[in-house]
Amino acid sequence: MSATSNFSLYAYSTDITPGLKLFYGDGQAYVGTHPPSFVLQSVNISLSETDESTEFVATPDRAMDWASQPTMYIDTTSDAFNPVGFTIGNETVDNSSTVTRFGLYGGWAFHRDDEGIVEMKFYATPINETDIYLVRWNAGSSKTVDRISISLRTVALIIITS
């Protein structure tokens, strides 16, 4: 499997602290200043996009006891609002989930649907810990109060102080 160079993703929205880093926590994607207190296995990750199948493959920033590097997946079922997850090795995801057709456009993470339409339906849901959110894919494009639309970018927030 050949891959492009590694990159990190950061969440942006008017409703969250800008530039929260994406990381792995118990097989799910979170953005935040640190891992949630309740996850057993968490690690900062960088991602790479494979050439042949446009998968986002995670590389941990420290040694992990994984059979192989995790691959990001989303549930594409209409009206689904499920967490963005990671599958490792031979683990399977259900038929409505996909690990393929992810990409970057100018540093913005996206998914291309079956018809080739580019979608950026990433959302963050609060987990009752300050500045930490579970990342979800909003396949149905529905909105409620606890759903915060986010953009995932490869650009980290740079704060300039004088």
**Predicted confidence (pLDDT) per residue in 83-112, tens digit:** 999 998 767 777 789 999 999 999 999 999
What are the residues whose beta carbons fall under 8 Å from the beta carbon of 114, sequence distance 6 or more? none
CATH 2.80.10: does it fit domain 10-153?
yes
More confident: 123 or 143: 123
Instruction: Please state, in angstroms and rounded to a whole number, the distance separating the CA atoms of residues 85 and 82.
Output: 9
Instruction: Please state, in angstroms and rounded to a whole number, the distance separating the CA atoms of residues 73 and 101.
Output: 10
Q: What is the mean pLDDT of residues 72-81?
A: 91
H helix count then E strand count, the chain: 0, 16
Please give the pLDDT value at position 146: 73
Please give the pLDDT value at position 96: 84
Boundaries of every domain in the chain: 10-153
